[in-house]
Amino acid sequence: AQKITQTQPGMFVQEKEAVTLDCTYDTSDQSYGLFWYKQPSSGEMIFLIYQGSYDEQNATEGRYSLNFQKARKSANLVISASQLGDSAMYFCAARTGNQFYFGTGTSLTVIP
């Protein structure tokens, strides 16, 4: 099984600033995918961004980017120009084969 570690239980960021949410993973597989999900207070799980283990460039989706450092086994989420609507729980996940493994999440609060 994979272990996904999110060491920041809670983070605060000023509106319009950038923030980095940390994620490390532990796998011996060569082929894997890394994902970030957002869970607002309403409870749904929203897929944000993914990175494949063979991708050489960092993934980007709008204001989200994934800082992938394969040798360090880290997959940090960077949110640029934070908005009040970014306040939510964020979960990092990894996929090997048909199995997905999740971290315990980081609660992000955007301060006006």
Q: Counting contacts by CB under 8 A, is residue 100 touching other proteins?
A: yes
Q: Counting contacts by CB under 8 A, is residue 91 touching other proteins?
A: yes
Q: Token pair for residue 12?
A: 């605060």
Supply the minimum distance, in Å, between the C-beta of residue 99 and other proteins. 7
DSSP string, 7-57: --SEEEEETTS-EEE--EEE---SS-EEEEEEE-TT---EEEEEEETT--S
Q: Counting contacts by CB under 8 A, is residue 112 touching other proteins?
A: no
Spatial separation of the C-alpha atoms in residues 104 and 112, rounded to whole Å:
26
Interface residues for other proteins in 5-64 (CB under 8 A)?
Answer: 31-33, 35, 37, 43-45, 47, 50-53
Do 58 and 68 touch, CB atoms closer than 8 A?
yes
Supply the minimum distance, in Å, between the C-beta of residue 69 and other proteins. 18
Supply the minimum distance, in Å, between the C-beta of residue 20 and other proteins. 19
**Residue 85: which H helix or E strand, with range?**
none
- Contact positions toward other proteins, by CB under 8 A? 1, 4, 31-33, 35, 37, 43-45, 47, 50-53, 91, 93, 95-100, 102-105
